[in-house]
Structure 1
């Protein structure tokens, strides 16, 4: 630092700069906000920032802010201070009869057209012994926020810090959902943007409770500490609200369908059992030989009339009917007459076809029912244990397709994919 201060020259220069300091300094103990010095000549920003700080300083109850429009550059020249230090500021304070001086420097953060402004601001307390720089702060001011109205919130933070009032920082909230409402200490401070982010400025320093809520999400709550003139980040991952677990419904529905298919198989099984009972009726009938002789005596095809005549002649019980299947069994030596020529008995071919169809459908329905019940149990367990919608949506796919190529050529294809 270069300091040259002949007493007479300094007095004349100071008088010329201030236009007569005596009236200004008549009120001792005032607070002076010296005009901010711009290193690169950004005078408009410096004036706006100085004006915003002076305006905020006037709002401090214990401060009497001087009206004089005096700049740091002027006082530096008057006192020969290229870079004012504590001693230089003590001399300036004595000259102005100031109790406190707020001053600072602003410079660009980069060369060319891409730059912001870096501010260094000091609070010199002339009342503390020989005087000392009591506090200082730094801040980066975006170039697009150089208007005086845009600078007022920053000036409020600066003055509040220097006055020993609440100091401020900022909070950046990052969530996994847009449109989430953010509350700091119970106050709604805004909602997150499309990217799920929200920056809250002018948050007083200290420990804060942050609560975040959004539709269809569980409420999030956490705590953080706001550091003055710094940005505190909080990442919040909101969980989906768990409604009633309906994941069991598909499994239960498939199980119910399997039970229905099994019941249909039982119907076909009952029909087959009826035909088996017909065999038993023949074996147990005391007049079996009579019926066999009557039918055996028929030349050609045994008709329904022949069967009725045999039942009458052999005095069968009331309501007893000799079916085509019975007639075929009594007139054949084979245990499975459906494998022989069924034309000997009228209606025997249809009876054999019906028996084969019932048998196939019985096992097809049983098979489909078993596959459906097994798949339903799998889906039921998965649905009840799934924690997220994505897991529930990724359940298996079941493809069941029965086929038939004839009365005796039937089957079913079942495919399960997951």
Structure 2
């Protein structure tokens, strides 16, 4: 491993360290710094790019803490995303016989084969065509907020409905069922949930999407799920595979963006000089820059991207052996001082486009054009239309999501 500043290489291998020196993972954030990576994670980054950590089951995968090594491994075909492989560093116990969440937990070529079936609706030109509809959703929700009670929970009134309405329209899922799929989604992304309970939530969502696909087969419409019908009828995709794909897109399409809207708003309220830049600009380039910087500065993918080495991999003076787990926490990669100057400062004018918030390599987020567009509309509209928006409680009273695979806040009381 390379020692920053000296260029010297150490022959010490973290795998040979005494057992009691291997830190537990995940690591706790500092209560007074909820936007920053855990202090212990920073310590590991300073020590070196690859460290050993201990998980809930006693396993000791590799933790990858620096940007260049993160991108290298996420782009390496010798690492696997298949959660059912022996030794995979799962975040929580997995029910025997259960499978992963559609193609994001598959390797190529099957991963690419299935992913290509749903790529077109998320292409940049297709997403840009949705911008006026998203703008109307945002404006209508703000109108409702302004006409309703004050203060209000921004999560319930705005942050969650925006992406839920958008992904429902895109997929062809009735928004009237949002309580059902949101409550089951919460079970899937909560870490300390019994495996049987998690499996039950997954089955309920899969059955729901399967029934919906049955309706699309009988009465196809102009939506993504209907677009899968020919794939099912031709035998390219089983109906169960299509239903699992629908669960993935429904879950990813609302949970991550909803948390980014709320957490980003909270971060801006805590940085009023940066909030003023957004509130007072009509420059779409500055808005786009702000979105990228907030994606870098914050972290929604909580607990790191998980992988497994399929072969021995030599990297930065270490050897990751075949069958060893790999954890890539993007929040510390996005705070790497060798890539982002003064990384702990929120600077909306920074060129942060190199961040790894959406991952890297073949598994990078399929829906990132949609997420970017939604965030651009939200961040350029909410604070301009409600210029006096403020927290209705102290930061110390905000309930943060420390218990799952998606980070954010459970509630965000705001007033104006």
Greater relative CO, 1 or 2 (CA 8 Å, sep 6+): 2
User: Which structure is higher in helix share?
Assistant: 2
* TMscore range, shorter length: under 0.3
Pick the structure with greater CA Rg.
Answer: 1
For normalisation by structure 1, the TM-score amounts to 0.18
User: Which structure is higher in strand share?
Assistant: 1
